[in-house]
Amino acid sequence: MIGNLFVISAPSGAGKSSLIRAVLAEDRNLALSISHTTRSPRRGERNGFDYHFVDPAAFQAMTERGEFLETAEVHGNRYGTSQKWIEATLRQGRDVLLEIDWQGAQQVRKAYPDAITAFILPPSIAELERRLRARAQDSDEVIRRRVANAVEELGHVSEFDYVIINTDFEEARRDLAALVRAARLTLIRQSARHPEMLNISTKV
């Protein structure tokens, strides 16, 4: 049985990572793809847990060997998703979450047309900027650039299947969890999990 592939995108500061961690903590059959990146770790981030941190030369070598399902450049840093890991995990019947930007989402849809995509938004650009400043991780210049990029990213919302507005964290968490659960209840997925019952019902 093949698992579901979920692509989750959002502007920086929309709360995407926190929402994903909360949903993962409650769902044992959901796996998070750990991206490779050329950026430096932020305070508290761990290699192999938050990202696989690699230098630009190593990233380029992996790209040339065709190891990435998708790659993107964001804020001057490169990111990539392991093709081999995604395929192996889906074949095990586990659902996979990809936490990537809209550029990567476009590439993934070409390889996996059935991927389920969702875009997470803050309630407003002003709130997005407030959250970025509250993190106290970036300079004013970086924050301004992230806000400008967020406005540009909004132009790609229509490319996604679902939109979650993260005004209230708990409500947004429930929305994301509901999306994952609903995808498992389609006829195709249920037929794969319960062939003995679904095969009978389709012949009656």
Query: Domain holding 26: CATH number?
Result: 3.40.50.300
Residues 187 and 36 sit within 8 Å (Cβ to Cβ): no
Residues 70 and 80 sit within 8 Å (Cβ to Cβ): yes
Reduce the secondary structure of 17-36 to three states and give it as a string: HHHHHHHHHHCCCEEECCCE
* 3-class secondary-structure state, position 103: helix
Residue 169 covered by a domain: yes
Residues 44 and 82 sit within 8 Å (Cβ to Cβ): no
Residue 134 covered by a domain: yes
By C-alpha distance, which of 86, 54, 57 is closest to 70? Answer: 86
Instruction: Give the pLDDT confidence of 81-96 residue by residue, as tens digits.
Output: 999 999 999 999 899 9
Residue 63 covered by a domain: no
Cα–Cα dist 37/39, whole Å: 6
Residue 74 covered by a domain: no
Residue 69 covered by a domain: no
Half-sphere exposure of 129 (CA within 13 A, CB side): 12
Domains held by the chain: number: 1
Residue 172 covered by a domain: yes
Structure tokens at 59: 């990233």
Cα–Cα dist 97/6, whole Å: 5
Residue 100 covered by a domain: yes
Residue 77 covered by a domain: no
Domain interval for residue 120: 5-33+95-201
Instruction: Give the pLDDT confidence of 110-169 residue by residue, as tens digits.
Output: 999 999 999 999 888 888 788 788 877 778 887 888 788 888 888 899 999 999 999 999
- Backbone φ, ψ for residue 11 (5° rounding): -65, 155
Instruction: Give the pLDDT confidence of 10-68 residue by residue, as tens digits.
Output: 987 788 989 999 999 999 999 999 999 999 998 889 999 889 999 999 999 999 999 99
pTM equals 0.84
